Amino acid sequence: MSTPLPSPIHPSPSPSPLVQIEEVQSTTKTARIAVHTHVKGLGLESNGTALPIAAGLVGQEKAREACGVVVDLIKSKKMAGRALLLAGAPGTGKTALALGISQELGGKVPFCPMVGSEVYSSEVKKTEVLMENFRRAIGLRIKESKEVYEGEVVELTPEETENPLGGYGRTVSHVLVGLKTTKGTKTLRLDPSIYDGLQKESVTVGDVIYIEANSGAVKRVGRSDAFSTEFDLEAEEYVPLPKGDVHKKKEIVQDVTLHDLDASNAKPQGGQDVMSMMAAMGKPKKTEITEKLRTEINRVVNRYIDQGVAELVPGVLFIDEVHMLDIECFTFLNRALESSLSPIVVFATNRGVCNIRGTDVLAPHGVPVDLLDRMLIVRTMPYSIEEMVQIMSIRAAVESIEVEESGLKALGEIGARTSLRYSVQMLTPANIIAGTTGRNSVTEADVSEIDELFFDCKASARLLAKSDGYLK
């Protein structure tokens, strides 16, 4: 989900040998922490029961087990077009559970998160925003058999000639690439355009690559495992030496979403088959995605599914704060959920009975009853003090803050009095207070000092209720 930050090593021309790469990496890792960083999955056993503390989640067993069932339904593709509603008080882990679901599904199943208020834009129709997100949540796995040259690079020599246009520059006229497999080595003499591709993928000697025979596209598979001991970098993926001939047919699997296909074909350039749709993906010029184009793409996709070339992977569309949607969006959702190309939609809300936006009709969760009727509802419960203390200690570990037992207990009590979010937010300021007094672990005293400095929302509201319009 998070994109790695650029490495903080200075781009000096001759890097000092004293810089240790491992060390630099670890600091960037712990430096960026978001609200849900500690959530790594749903923490279920193989039989589906929730472990008390696992994968960064604490308690909330029933809701986690329910989410586990949903994950199984999604994986067995039995839940397309259905919907789940996570309902519960603020700070009871609805968003955290949705992220847990996405972690359990893994990277191959599309997960598209959005917030209800995202649909309001002055440029794009509300339903258009919803439609786009629906299609971002439906994946298509395309299997193709392609003619490729594959192997470990043993030679990479660009051959230069005088620039034919005169001047002093030299140009690459062709490139010699030696590819090795278990069967032998072959040297290819390739076009300079492929040399660009090789540079883009930063291919060096010792990498395993393949070059598509008809398009010339270069793909770096990984580093040959003969080199696996040379560095200790986690980022590198080691792959075995390819088997068979260098020139062969290879099954290539690609994962795209329907929205990728829409966007890349908004201005159609090629034919109407999946392959030219895919080829259009990298091209930047786009026009508006029309309903007509979507129907056309659906038709082609359905044909390829029937032929067995492509496989549909319904993913998850997560709509947080669903009470922010209005009546027009809800009627659209009713219809969209019934389409044959529909993802699983997970909604979340913390509202009880309130107005449906855009009407003066009261409804549970601010969602029309006919849509609620299509949903499975999962309730999240408030946490006990012990659970809050455990969540707090997980957060403290993620933020690498040392907190003493008594400090954690004090934070848990604050959480019970106010909210989980508020007490999680107390962690960093309490650590700063501890730092100013020269300690490196947070004590109970630090926590109560911080608690006096800040107001939680309930305390602030109580104070405001007493004032008559002005703050005094």
Ligand X SMILES: Nc1ncnc2c1ncn2[C@@H]1O[C@H](COP(=O)(O)OP(=O)(O)OP(=O)(O)O)[C@@H](O)[C@H]1O
Q: Which of 302, 350, 425, 448 binds ligand X (CB under 6 A)?
A: 350
Q: Tokens 């000096």 label which residue?
A: 12
Which listed option, ligand X, Mg ion, none, makes contact with residue 424 (CB within 5 to 8 Å by class)? ligand X
**Nearest one of 225, 218, 181, 178 to 202, comparing CA atoms:** 218
Site string for Mg ion, 94-133 (x = CB under 5 A): -x--------------------------------------
Q: Computed over its alpha carbons, how large is the radius of gyration of the chain?
A: 28
Binding piece for ligand X, criterion CB under 6 A, among 11-19, 57-65, 122-130, 273-281: 57-65
Which listed option, Mg ion, ligand X, none, makes contact with residue 90 (CB within 5 to 8 Å by class)? ligand X
Q: Which is nearer to ligand X, 100 or 197 (CB)?
A: 100
Binding piece for ligand X, criterion CB under 6 A, among 69-77, 125-133, 166-174, 419-427: 419-427
Q: Which of 74, 96, 333, 427 binds ligand X (CB under 6 A)?
A: 96
Q: Which is nearer to ligand X, 57 or 277 (CB)?
A: 57
* Residue 57 binding ligand X, by CB under 6 A: yes
Q: Which is nearer to ligand X, 58 or 345 (CB)?
A: 58
* Residue 323 binding ligand X, by CB under 6 A: no
Q: Rounded to a whole number, what is the largest CA-CA distance in the chain?
A: 87
Site string for ligand X, 378-397 (x = CB under 6 A): -------------x------
- Supply the minimum distance, in Å, between the C-beta of residue 361 and ligand X: 22
Is 380:386 a contact under the CB 8 Å cutoff? no
Q: Which is nearer to ligand X, 331 or 350 (CB)?
A: 350
Q: Which of 4, 52, 90, 435 binds ligand X (CB under 6 A)?
A: 90
* Residue 39 binding ligand X, by CB under 6 A: yes
Binding piece for ligand X, criterion CB under 6 A, among 92-100, 222-230, 243-251, 460-468: 92-100
Binding piece for Mg ion, criterion CB under 5 A, among 2-10, 22-30, 91-99, 442-450: 91-99
Distance CA 173, CA 169 (A): 12
SS3 sequence of 394-435: HHHHHCCCEECHHHHHHHHHHHHHCCHHHHHHHHHHHHHHHH
Binding piece for ligand X, criterion CB under 6 A, among 34-42, 200-208, 238-246, 449-457: 34-42
Binding piece for ligand X, criterion CB under 6 A, among 11-19, 93-101, 211-219, 250-258: 93-101
* Residue 380 binding Mg ion, by CB under 5 A: no
State which residue has the least CB distance to Mg ion: 95
* Residue 203 binding ligand X, by CB under 6 A: no
Strand partners, 320: 115
Q: Which is nearer to ligand X, 90 or 107 (CB)?
A: 90
Q: Which of 83, 105, 114, 424 binds ligand X (CB under 6 A)?
A: 424
Distance CA 75, CA 68 (A): 11
Q: Which is nearer to Mg ion, 95 or 419 (CB)?
A: 95
Which listed option, Mg ion, ligand X, none, makes contact with residue 211 (CB within 5 to 8 Å by class)? none
- Supply the minimum distance, in Å, between the C-beta of residue 349 and ligand X: 7
Which listed option, Mg ion, ligand X, none, makes contact with residue 302 (CB within 5 to 8 Å by class)? none
Number of residues that bind Mg ion (CB under 5 A): 1
Q: Which is nearer to ligand X, 39 or 313 (CB)?
A: 39
- Supply the minimum distance, in Å, between the C-beta of residue 461 and ligand X: 16
* Residue 95 binding ligand X, by CB under 6 A: yes
* Residue 420 binding ligand X, by CB under 6 A: yes
State which residue has the least CB distance to ligand X: 93
Q: Which is nearer to ligand X, 93 or 110 (CB)?
A: 93
**Nearest one of 363, 333, 366 to 350, comparing CA atoms:** 366
Binding piece for ligand X, criterion CB under 6 A, among 153-161, 271-279, 418-426, 460-468: 418-426
SS3 sequence of the chain: CCCCCCCCCCCCCCCCCCCCHHHHHHHHHHHCCCCCCCCCCCCECCCCCECCEECCEECCHHHHHHHHHHHHHHHCCCCCCCEEEEEECCCCCHHHHHHHHHHHHCCCCCEEEEEHHHHCCCCCCHHHHHHHHHHHCEEEEEEEEEEEEEEEEEEEEEEEEECCCCCCCEEEEEEEEEEEECCEEEEEEECHHHHHHHHHCCCCCCEEEEEECCCCCEEEEEEEHHHCCCCCCCCCCEECCCCCCCEEEEEEEEEEEHHHHHHHHCCCCCCCCHHHHHHHHHCCCCCCCCHHHHHHHHHHHHHHHHHCCEEEEECEEEEECHHHCEHHHHHHHHHHHHCCCCCEEEEEECCCEEECECCCCEEECCCCHHHHCCEEEEEECCCCHHHHHHHHHHHHHHCCCEECHHHHHHHHHHHHHCCHHHHHHHHHHHHHHHHHCCCCEECHHHHHHHHHHCCCHHHHHHHHHHCCCCCC
Binding residues for ligand X, rule: CB under 6 A, are 35-36, 39, 56-60, 88, 90-96, 350, 391, 420-421, 424
Which chain residues interact with Mg ion by CB under 5 A?
95
